[in-house]
Structure 1
Amino acid sequence: MNLVKKYPYVITDLDGKIAGKGYLINPETYEALQTYQLASNYHLFLASGRLDLMAKEYFAKLKIKTPIISCNGALIRDSLTNEILYQQPLPQALALAVLTNAIEGNVDHIVYTANMVYGHPGSSRIAFMLKYNAQLDNDNYRIPIDTETDYVSLLKNNEIEVLKILFPFNSSAELEQVQAIYQPFKNAVDGVFSQKDLFDIQALNINKGNAFKKLCALKGYDPQQFIFYGDNYNDLELAKIVGYTVAMGNSVLELKKIANTTTMTVTDNGVREHLFTEVLSKEQLAEFLPQVKNVFK
């Protein structure tokens, strides 16, 4: 099959699709995506629950030249100029109310803004991000993290706008605490699982699908010309509007039900498998795969 003829663009989420544990991308998956970049003239798009500044390593190594959807669609930023094309923060009063409940209940949480990730130094997710930063060999790729500033005061003083509040949890009891925070606001905000152990609270009607529609309107793209790789609940709305959806082998059942096909898991390099067997032709692989090491040094 040569799907790239009908679908000249690919848009993919990060975690659970191309990135596995520890925010790391398998070298073979990198190679496949880099081959696609050459064959398609850099038509790879990224749409993530993460803040885009948490994935600078990928942008550089994949030579991303397209706008990036991040924070589940609350932010669209030009990858080349860093211009913010669109953003939709949580209303200040709602963000303050959610954060107040989280702090009073001693519930682990992280705050995403367009330029910074704020959190408590004891947060499990902050520790995860700091560990990722520590193993990087290029300081420019580091996630911008602030564990010292009083972000609630910044919010009260209109010095920051909150794009997303992330709640990590490691047990059903912790999830119940998170849901107790979410429930009073469920009609005024959007809540979604971005991973099996992460729950996000954002402005109402924020999702990757709506952000993708805005991006297509801004730049003149046809959503039906895109292949999408997804795996979780925060991918459902985007999966419904693209031309061809590929569910990862590790996807939630709800996504597999609406996908055009299912590939292997992220651990088994499912994106690479699908790109090399279904998207690119044998001729394209023969031409561009040998060029990868020279172009992506």
Structure 2
Amino acid sequence: MYPPVRLIALDLDGTLLDEEKKIPDQAVQMIAKAKEKGIIVTLASARPFCSMLPYARQLQLDTPLISLSGSYVTDEREERIWLKRPMNLLKFREMVRIFEEENYYVKVYLENQLIVQQATKETVNYSRIFGVPYTVLGPKKLRTLEKAPLRIALFDDSIRIRNAQQILKTWSDDFAVIRDTDHGLEIVEPTVSKGAALKIICCGLGIPMENVMAIGNEGSDISMIREAGIGIAMGNACEELKQCADDVTKTNEECGVGYAIQKFVFKESLK
């Protein structure tokens, strides 16, 4: 028997959103029903804040949102910043110089902005689909950035990504590294995680972690799945996350979020 749920934390891509980047109607209905019961709902994503905002407004959420994998937490109007953890600028410059020299595709994130060396097709598509503005600095110019980033995403083939992981061991005290896919790495400040950000929100709201339900699907969600009283893996989640979850719900295409809320919040019979 689990404690009563007082707060629900939801990842976006691959969790709350279907493959068309939309929230299924059933999930919208179940979230509204949970809110009517007095349950707080928040979103936790690797996306920048500006890319999360349309979904928060659709769901009429007025709680702090966890963006950039836990590096930046703020309310809907960005009037109160609950957490902001940029990485060390000098260490970033040292590290990104190597990846620029090795011709990796590097995406650098500020609060609501993407910084790249050049506007590739992927950059343009990402900006259009996710609603994130981007700035082009030019080849090998990321190392000249004057503002400390909040998150970095690194993309390449699987062999070069493994090589990147080895390179990053040099800065093991300076960065936290998450490998979500065979072709990508996520890099943040060493104390940053969705789980740590979620604990800060819950502390501020006076909600014990045992009364939290968190739902996710990727490696960056593992920390909040472990911290929550009820940690739920999506049916389409990576195997590592499923292994540490309390339960596995349906996939994002089957509205696994709505199914989990129905099961653990309302204890309703499931079909």
Pairwise CA distance, 1:223: 1.2
* Structure 1 residue 77: Cα displacement: 0.8
Q: Structure 1 residues 82 and 53 mapped into 2: Cα distance closer, same or farther (>3 Å)? A: farther
Secondary structure at the counterpart of residue 17 of structure 1: helix
Partner of 1:165: 152
Partner of 1:219: 205
Q: Which TM-score applies when normalising by structure 2?
A: 0.86
Deviations 1:65-86 (A, max 9, x none): 1111122211111224442221
1:235-274 mapped onto 2 (5 Å cutoff): 235-274=221-260
The verdict on how the C-alpha distance between 1:208 and 1:60 changes in structure 2, with shifts beyond 3 A counting, is: same
Deviations 1:206-265 (A, max 9, x none): 111222222223332211111110122212221222111111111222222222211011
Matched residue, 1:145: 134
What pairs with 1:167-182 in structure 2 (closer than 5 Å)?
Answer: 167-169=154-156, 171-182=157-168
More deviation in 69-78 or 142-151? 142-151
Q: 2:59 is matched with which residue?
A: 62
Q: Structure 1 residues 195-204 or 87-96, which shifts more?
A: 195-204
- The question of whether the paired residues in 2 share the 8 Å contact of 1:67 and 1:76 is answered with yes
Structure 1 residues 195 and 49, CA gap change in structure 2 (3 angstroms): farther
Q: Give SS of 2:236's match.
A: coil
* Alignment correspondent of 1:20: 18
| Corresponding residue number in structure 1 for 2:40 | 43
Equivalent residue of 2:196, what SS?
A: helix
Q: Read off the aligned partner of 2:32 and give its amino acid letter.
A: Q
Separation of aligned partners in 2, 1:255 and 1:85: 27
**Pairwise CA RMSD of aligned residues?**
2.6
Q: 1:24 to 1:167 in 2, by over 3 A?
A: farther
Paired with 1:106 and 1:66, the residues of 2 have a C-alpha distance of 40
Identity of aligned residues (%): 21
Unaligned residue ranges in structure 2 (runs of 5+): none
Relative to structure 1, the CA distance from residue 108 to residue 181 in structure 2 (aligned partners, 3 Å threshold; closer, same or farther) is: farther
C-alpha displacement of 1:10? 0.7
Q: Residue type matched to 2:64 in 1?
A: P
Task: Tell me the equivalent position of 1:97.
Answer: 94
Deviation digits for residues 45-96 of structure 1 (CA, Å, limit 9, x no counterpart): 1111222222121011011111111222111112244422211111011111
Displaced runs of 4 or more, over 6 A: none
On the 8 A contact 1:54/1:144 being kept in 2, the answer is: no
Matched, 1:210 2:201: no
* Deviation, structure 1 residue 188: 2.5
1:264-291: CA deviations, max 9, x gaps? 1112211112223442366xxxxxxxxx
1:92-136 superposed Cα distances (whole Å, 9 cap, x missing partner): 111111221121111101111123221244446423323315xxx
TM-score for the superposition, normalised by structure 1: 0.80
2:187 to 173, 197, 201: 201
Structure 1 pair 94/21, CA: closer, same or farther in 2 (3 Å)? farther
What one-letter code is carried by the residue in structure 2 that aligns with 1:257? Answer: Q
- Aligned partner of residue 10 in structure 1, secondary structure: strand
Query: Helix, strand or coil: the match of 2:12?
Result: coil
Q: Look up the match of 1:11.
A: 9
| Counterpart-to-counterpart distance in 2, 1:60 and 1:146 | 26
Distance in 2, matches of 1:176 and 1:274, equals 35
Which residue identity is paired with 1:76? V
Aligned AA for 1:14? L
1:12–1:45 Cα contact (<8 Å) kept: yes
Equivalent residue letter for 2:155? P
Structure 1 gaps, min length 5: 134-141, 283-297
Distance 1:146 1:35 in 2: 40
Q: 1:219 to 1:8 in 2, by over 3 A?
A: closer
| CA distance 1:34–1:196, shift in 2 (3 Å) | farther
